[in-house]
Amino acid sequence: MMQLTLEIVAKTLFGADVGDHADDVGEALDAVLALAADPIFMFFPFLREMPIPSVKRYRRGIAKLDAIIFGVIEKRRAGKQEEGNDLLSMLLHAKDEDGSRMSDRQVRDESLTLFLAGHETTALALSWTWLLLSQHPEVDKKLATELSDVLGDREATLADLPNLRYTNQIINESLRMYPPAWSMGREACEDVVVGGYLIPRDHQVWFCPWAIQRDARWFEAPDEFRPERWENDFQRTLHRYAYFPFGGGPRFCIGQSFAQMEAVLLLATLAQRFRVEVLPKPAPTPDPTVTLRPKHGLRVRLCRRA
Ligand code: HEM
């Protein structure tokens, strides 16, 4: 799933330019994220300056990503590469109110942010969805019926989205039970009172979709996987922050529509052809680091749909 969403975000951001480097990019990102997500480096930031193996891998990862991204930017700026209808072209052409354009460094930073934010979360959403479908054959069967009714043998396209209602409900329910961004926090830059509580300057507040989205005050039988609960505009009846897999407020996920569209189309396209059985070993245990990953990955058996 990671490889798939990485290739998709690479193509959306850089057109075909990064396609050939997808493996390199995946490897480099792994090294960068391993260090970024390691609590040891969060608590003891000075360790980032030490010549230890994980720091060296991190530095090599950043250098590789820079080489690829700056390389693509340079080719585009020099006009050696055909302009695409991708996000990189938009960033290169974007102008501020005063007419100035972004520097290469800014374009690199923006692209890398989207690159990082834009693939692992979607890959995790899909992975947990496979687990839930594997544990609930009745839901999988209903999904197969919808795919066969709406699509028959042809490929899913954007135009099918409004008709893939159950597929969409499955994704909503999976994001409720296994939110890839399971927890997020803010730090007060000055004393502030929120909901009657004083939050002193420099203190952090963390909020946890994993806990809130499994709270019986908002969701009946919260630990049960029930995509049907999303029928009849259920979301509209909820408190705005009872369900927030994409965050909220000014830092709300910028990729939400893209991710939702991508997840539904990928689930439809793959589930049309395959049923996925998640094998019992290694046990699929959630590992709450920066994102919610399955601790040892998921081992699956792919069964071709009749
Ligand atoms: C299922 C998939 C996704 C989930 C669950 C998800 C979740 C989130 C959440 C919870 C936040 C807010 C973090 C916070 O408030 O601290 C966020 C921010 C962000 N997301 Fe996503 N995301 C997903 C897909 C994507 C995609 C596909 C992209 C880009 C193509 C993307 C780009 C971003 C960016 C750039 C931010 C930072 C926005 C800002 O700080 O202004 N995300 N995402």
Give me ligand 1 centre to Cα 51, in Å: 32
**C-alpha distances in Å from residue 96, one per residue of 74, 89, 109, 192:** 21, 15, 17, 33
pLDDT value for 45: 82
Give me ligand 1 centre to Cα 252, in Å: 7
Is the beta carbon of 259 within 6 A of some atom in ligand 1?
yes
Q: How confident is the model at residue 88 (pLDDT cuts 50, 70, 90)?
A: confident
pLDDT value for 56: 93
Q: Which of 121, 244, 251 to mutate to test the pocket of ligand 1 (most atoms within 8 A of CB)?
A: 121
Type of residue at 2? M
Residue 16 has pLDDT above 70, yes or no: no
Q: What is the mean pLDDT of residues 238-256?
A: 95
Is the beta carbon of 294 within 6 A of some atom in ligand 1?
no
Is the beta carbon of 3 within 6 A of some atom in ligand 1?
no
Q: Mean pLDDT for the chain?
A: 91
Strands (E), 120-253: 184-187, 192-194, 197-199, 204-207
pLDDT value for 30: 80
Q: What is the mean pLDDT of residues 81-100?
A: 82
156 close to 269: Cβ distance less than 8 angstroms: yes
DSSP string spanning 59-127?
HHHHHHHHHHHHHHHHHHHTT-S---SSHHHHHHH-B-TTS-B--HHHHHHHHHHHHHHTTHHHHHHHH
pLDDT value for 81: 62
For residue 124, the ligand 1 atom closest to its alpha carbon is: 1
Give me ligand 1 centre to Cα 117, in Å: 6
Is the beta carbon of 117 within 6 A of some atom in ligand 1?
yes
The residue contributing the CA closest to ligand 1 atom 11 is 253
205 phi/psi in degrees, rounded to 5: -125, 130
Mind listing the pLDDT tens digit for each residue in 104-153?
999 999 988 888 888 899 999 999 999 999 999 999 999 999 999 999 99
Give me ligand 1 centre to Cα 119, in Å: 10
User: For strand 204-207 and strand 197-199, is the pairing parallel, antiparallel, or unpaired?
Assistant: unpaired
Give me ligand 1 centre to Cα 113, in Å: 10
Mind listing the pLDDT tens digit for each residue in 187-235?
999 999 999 999 999 999 999 999 999 999 999 999 999 999 999 999 9
Type of residue at 12? T
123 close to 292: Cβ distance less than 8 angstroms: no
Q: Which of 41-45, 124-128, 287-291 bottoms out in mean pLDDT, i.e. has the lowest? A: 41-45
Q: What is the mean pLDDT of residues 153-164?
A: 97
The residue contributing the CA closest to ligand 1 atom 37 is 253
Is the beta carbon of 70 within 6 A of some atom in ligand 1?
no
